[in-house]
Homo-oligomer: A and B are copies of this chain.
């Protein structure tokens, strides 16, 4: 038998199984209340609208185009719809500033591929989106912590150089981040932009959850702030990654990148070489549904998720012991819990599944340095209020026991 490990590239050693994906399998056990998956509630999908979209797309002159190869940059009417949508949030751009991806996960992979040589450094928050670490890992970077204060540009640069590369970008999720649910303040956004300018690097803004704001005034995206500073998108350094996965449906795999043209042009060439283009028919179906139903759809999911967030925050306040803390997100799908001192999230999960039949994601995986052992991520997107109350009661009991044992 071929010694496969001898012939794999060195990057393959960093491709390892995802804790989250393994945990998703728990969703299939009916007696477990799961707050683990970071996925939308499928009952909220606009299934009727998609049914109509596919039927119309395959119903006449468009059918041949829908089933054929298409251009790597994406379906023109979808890019035009996105241009208008971007304009409404202060991002003035042209269709040529927009690139369609197979979900925003692909955008992260491509941006890793575009910027990272082995031993370069990516700046990420502690914690950050696990999928971003997985995408970037294939390109063998180091990580450094993107805080919003205290570190000088020179300290980032000298650490990166001591590791044999350069700082190549700062990556962050601006609104209702996975895993924390937190939103980056306007002041912090400006500070990231200033840091990026001093380091002369791009900012990758992950906006996957941006449309899921329940309350409070929307904050300008980092790209919008960058355009306000720079005068035009062509002078910006921010690469905005959006997705239809949390608003319309993830199963079609349609996301998008908005950035200055030199970046978009490289991404288009990269896609041509890597998978030619995202599914033609799915881009047409997304355009069809977005044009007709986008606003109504996001209002529907906001209402549902907000009620679940409220139920979870309420249950946490009643069931969690003293010493536990958690975030109060203004949108999105996640609450981030910091456990009392000495309680380990991974240990807790073992007992949570076997004894209390409740699931979540231990926080450690979201830290590039594998710290954060006393944290966990809860998702309220797929559980109704009754299940949330019961599941948090179970979790609270368990955290109390672990807290007493740790004391």
* A274 touching B135, Cβ below 8 Å: yes
**Residues of chain B within 8 A of A280, CB atoms compared:** 251-252
**Residues of chain B within 8 A of A47, CB atoms compared:** 58, 63-64, 67
Once A69-B251, A115-B9, A282-B282 are accepted as A-B contacts, the answer to whether A43 and B64 lie under 8 Å apart by CB is yes
Interface size on A, residues (CB 8 A): 87
- A274's partner among B4, B58, B105 (CB-CB below 8 A) is B105
Q: Counting CB contacts under 8 A, is A346 at the interface? A: no
Once A2-B200, A64-B47 are accepted as A-B contacts, the answer to whether A273 and B7 lie under 8 Å apart by CB is no
* B45 touching A103, Cβ below 8 Å: no
* B51 touching A64, Cβ below 8 Å: no
* B21 touching A45, Cβ below 8 Å: no
Name A274's closest neighbour in chain B (CB-CB). Answer: B109
Oligomer: number of copies: 2
Name A278's closest neighbour in chain B (CB-CB). Answer: B253
* B109 touching A168, Cβ below 8 Å: no
- Among A104-118, those with CB < 8 Å from B are 105-106, 109, 113-117
Q: Counting CB contacts under 8 A, is A139 at the interface? A: yes
* A15 touching B135, Cβ below 8 Å: no
**Residues of chain B within 8 A of A70, CB atoms compared:** 251
Q: Counting CB contacts under 8 A, is A202 at the interface? A: yes
- Among A35-57, those with CB < 8 Å from B are 39-40, 42-43, 45, 47, 50-51, 54-55
CA distance in complex: A277, B24 (Å)? 14
Name A276's closest neighbour in chain B (CB-CB). Answer: B105
CA distance in complex: A103, B137 (Å)? 24
A-B contact pairs, 23 of them (CB 8 A): A1-B234, A2-B201, A4-B260, A4-B262, A4-B263, A11-B117, A12-B266, A15-B269, A18-B272, A18-B273, A21-B272, A45-B63, A45-B68, A47-B63, A47-B67, A51-B54, A51-B58, A54-B58, A68-B249, A135-B274, A251-B279, A252-B281, A253-B279
Q: A51-B63, A102-B275 are in contact. List 15 more A-B contacts (CB 8 A).
A: A15-B273, A40-B68, A42-B68, A45-B68, A47-B64, A66-B251, A68-B251, A102-B102, A105-B273, A105-B275, A137-B273, A252-B281, A253-B278, A279-B279, A282-B282
